[in-house]
Each structure stands twice: as C-alpha cells, then as structure tokens.
Amino acid sequence: MSENIIYCYSGSGHCLAMARRIAEVLGDTDIVMMRAFPAKTDATEAKRVGFVFSCMAGGLPGNVEDYVKAIKIAPGAYKFAVEQYAGYLGCGLHKLDELVGLDYWAGVANHSTAIWLMPHNLTLAPQSPAKCAEKIERKAVEIGGAVRAMKKSEKKPPKQAAFALMSAGLGKTHARRVKKFAASEACVGCGTCVKVCPRNNIQLQGGKPVFGPNCIGCLSCVQFCPKSAINIGKVTEKRERFPNGAVKPEDLTRKIIHID
C-alpha cells in the first residue's frame, strides 16, 4: 500500500504530467487513472488522497463525479485537488470539495489544448508546448511541496454556479460532436486512436477509424493521432494539436502508475 494516492483524469496528457510530477515530489504514490472507472476505489490506507483533473465545459470531466462518489477515503486523510484549465476555473473544484471536503486546492491556467470550439479557444492564444511544460514543472513542484507539508487552503474553491449549467449539458454535447469525428486521407491505420480511447468507442474498419456514440470528449484520439488525421467537422482542420510531450499514448491507458 502506497502512502499517497492521486486520482487522475487526463485527455491530452497535461494532467497526467502534472500528477506524475507531484507524485515525484511526494514519493511513494499510486496514480490511479479516472478516464474509465478507477481500478482502485479503496483509498482508506492512504495518508494523502489527491485529485488531478482538467476543467471540461466549466465542470468536472468525463464521469469523474460518479467515480469520486465510489472512492472510500479514511476520515483523517489529507485531501487535495489540482485542476488545470484553459481560460476559466469553472465549478469542478467546488463540486469536488462538496464530494470529499478538500484540505488544499489549486487551479492552474494552462491554455494548451486549443482544439475544441470553446469560448476560450476563440479569445486566447494557445501556449507553446515548451511554455506548457515549464508551467507544469513549476506549479507541480510548488503544489507538491505544499501537499507534502499538508498545507491547508485558506478559502474554499469558488462556487461559480453559472458553470454548473454549462457542464450539466456536457454528455449531450459530446454525443452530438462525436457524430462529426472523421479521419482524413492522412490516416495510416496505425490503431493508436483505438488504443487510447478510454471508452472503446473507436473501431478500425477497412483500416480507418469508425466512431461510436460513447464519447466523453477527452480528445485523446484527436490529440495523439500521429498524423493529426482526426477532425471534428471542419473546426479542427486548421488547429494545431497539443498533446503533452512527456506523455505517451500508452501512459494514458495504464490503470495505475506507481511512483517511488
């Protein structure tokens, strides 16, 4: 049993890179992925339990809310959360605080996945991969140090109630958008998109991906396709991909990653 557990949701790899670096600062940490139902929900022996996730449509991503409800944490454990977001914090940290009662939280602005058509992608210039990596390194060391010392946040995460409405419609948005997913002529049939999808939502037919209806909008397929062949309608044709450079597709598909 590891001293610390970090539950992590990540689509383009930035939150996994953040979770791994925080785990390196803490030592003896299991990172349990929350892209699908977590492989380990009993966290009762952990001294520190953390959550590292992205903001998605102003709220918690994927099915994270349901997964967190299934996780058992010891009453005296120290609980922390880190949210990475592009333009606005939204209500994800507030929701998580309601679910588990956070001792410490941090929001990290990192505009690194400017692919999806969201308001921030129209108004903010995307960061370069180098700047993104530098920010994750700097913030992870700072946050990891605070968590190791079991620092407590002075304030609760902001409620930002308006974002609850936006994130409530998320499932429908993905169901609508996935109908527009298609691979271009650049596709070489490598199967990376199939492997990296947390929902088994992609199949290769005649060497080309076919997308089912069970999409959570993680964008792993779009971001990690080595040929940038997957587009969402016309919106993404001219948008650069920004998968995290330190994360490989196979890292995302692991269920538990132990860091000594």
Ligand X SMILES: Cc1cc2nc3c(=O)[nH]c(=O)nc-3n(C[C@H](O)[C@H](O)[C@H](O)COP(=O)(O)O)c2cc1C
**Interacting stretch for ligand X, rule CB under 6 A, among 12-20, 74-82, 95-103, 197-205?**
12-20
Among 217, 236, 239, 251, binds ligand X (CB under 6 A): 217
> Going residue by residue from 202 to 241, which x/- string records binding to ligand SF4, judged by CB under 6 A?
x------x-x---xxxxxxx---xxx-xx-----------
Q: Give the orientation angle of helix 129-148 with respect to helix 14-26, to 10 degrees.
A: 40
Stretch that binds ligand SF4, among 42-50, 123-131, 193-201, 236-244 (CB under 6 A): 193-201
Tokens of 176: 């609508």
What is the SS3 string spanning 64-108?
HHHHHHHCEECCCCEEEEEEEECCCCCCHHHHHHHHHCCCEEEEE
Mask for 126-165, x = binds ligand X (CB under 6 A): ----------------------------------------
- Give the x-and-dash track for 120-159 against ligand SF4 (CB under 6 A): ----------------------------------------
Give the position of tokens 């058992």: 72
The piece of 25-33, 81-89, 142-150, 154-162 that touches ligand X (CB under 6 A) is 81-89
Residue 57, phi-psi category: left (phi > 0), alpha (psi -120 to 50), beta (remainder)? left
DSSP 3-state percent helix, strand, coil across the chain (nearest 5): 35, 20, 45
Contact of 10 with 252, CB cutoff 8 Å = yes
Phi, psi of 129 (to 5 degrees): -55, -35
Contact positions toward ligand X, by CB under 6 A? 10-15, 54-58, 84-88, 90, 110, 112-113, 116, 118, 120, 217, 219, 244
